[in-house]
Amino acid sequence: SQTIHQWPATLVQPVGSPLSLECTVEGTSNPNLYWYRQAAGRGLQLLFYSVGIGQISSEVPQNLSASRPQDRQFILSSKKLLLSDSGFYLCAWSGGRREKLFFGSGTQLSVL
Amino acid sequence: AQSVTQLGSHVSVSEGALVLLRCNYSSSVPPYLFWYVQYPNQGLQLLLKYTTGATLVKGINGFEAEFKKSETSFHLTKPSAHMSDAAEYFCAVSDQYGAGSYQLTFGKGTKLSVIP
């Protein structure tokens, strides 16, 4: 069966520090991968999605970037965190073709 | 482009009472519709989905939702609320996004509180 792993679960970082959140999927190949951010009262905002290795699409201009170095690995990064980057970050995957998303357990990021 | 509107960011019901969470959508193609539940500090879990066929779909934990095309709605219901139903619920619509790729657009969520 397929599983999705996301880490760390919580992270507290100072403003201006770098960020790296990692997500891996097991039990499937060539998944569509997504990074969402959930801010209080704002629902889920799609940040990046990827349909294949090295293929990244960005939804909103921001301080963040994403990379997909391997088929089942998706990384969210920042060179310098801002206070506004605080939030709950969720990685997700799907098999494509309008299928449901499977979510990781999320990372609560606090930028202080 | 698709969008989802969830009416009410916070809903409170008494234990044993009917749960009704409202969702309206817009989509340029026949929609696939989803309800997800999120417990505190966790990811989202799928409750149920509508793709095609029967418009009343049943999900986990006694929840169900009815797709009403004429009303562009997909409201979530449960006849009798349980304390364990307290969580945040998200409605989502799936639409084409890029060549051969689809994405889900989520509503802003409805936080359900259950009063003992």
pLDDT digits (tens), chain A, 112 positions:
888 999 898 999 999 999 999 999 999 988 999 999 987 767 788 899 898 898 898 877 678 999 999 999 999 999 999 999 999 999 999 886 666 788 998 999 999 9
- Residue showing tokens 């009063």: B115
Q: Tell me how many degrees the CA angle A64-A69-A73 measures, rounded to the nearest 5.
A: 80
B32 Cβ under 8 Å from any chain A Cβ: yes
CA pseudo-torsion sign A33, A38, A43, A47 = negative
CA pseudo-torsion sign A81, A82, A87, A92 = negative
Q: Tell me whether residues B102 and A34 touch, CB distance under 8 A.
A: no
Q: Tell me whether residues A51 and B98 touch, CB distance under 8 A.
A: yes
B14 Cβ under 8 Å from any chain A Cβ: no
The residue of A46, A60, A94, A98 whose CB has the most chain B CBs within 10 angstroms, and thus the best one to mutate to test that interface, is A98
